[in-house]
A = this chain, B = another copy of it.
Amino acid sequence: MNKAVVVLSGGMDSATALYQAKADGNELYAISFDYGQRHKKELDYAKKLAEVAGVKEHHIVNLTSITELISNSSLTNKEIDVPEGHYAAENMKLTVVPNRNMIMYAVALGYAVNVKASSMYVGVHAGDHAIYPDCRPEFIEALDVIAKIANEGFIKKDFQVKAPFVHISKTNIAKLGSQLGVPYELTWSCYKGRDKHCGKCGTCVERKEAFQLAGVVDPTQYDL
């Protein structure tokens, strides 16, 4: 049985990637990151998701020591407000943590090499591209290339970085996930990290919209 490492944030997209990796017949290894994000409760959701999905190993890696180095983002710097409104808006650039995905994926790749995984699944999707340069298809391609160069002789020869949603919208992720049986009530999106989803921040707006447009029941409790 092939092994897959899944980068699991606890949000909708990576939860769906987890179930996609499972549907693809892999033994599952999940990895999550505490990078000092305000919405740390997504990690509790990642933990539950991993259990429910039958993940063999799940690690939560503490990367908070890098926070001070990349503190210009509202996601890690408490002095900057999390912007509200639609995700595509210019002010959402405040949610960029420099090189965040590359840092997390580099650690996940080390883990993948160590467990002799055949693939690494990440949940980036088409809607991320406008804001986050490290969610674009060209980034995923470059990552696949460098993963094999950096680990030649150690990584499985047929290893692949898989971003199954890189060309599809969050709406289509919700549709697909609904077919795959993803327990979306065990996912967390809101950047504010309160008791309930705020319903107003960029990622909440995106979440609500995806369920609505997909015609999938939204199990989320919004604070409205």
Contacts and interface: CB of A to CB of B under 8 A. Distances in A.
Interface string A105-142: 11101110110000000000000000001101011001
Total copies of this chain within the assembly: 2
A193 to B, nearest CB: 21
B139 A142 contact: no
A66 interface: yes
A99 B114 CA distance: 9
Interface of A: 31, 59, 61-63, 65-66, 68-72, 96-103, 105-107, 109-111, 113-114, 133-134, 136, 138-139, 142-143, 145-147, 149-154
Given A61-B65, A146-B146, 9 more contacts: A59-B69, A63-B63, A98-B113, A99-B113, A99-B147, A102-B150, A103-B107, A133-B151, A133-B153
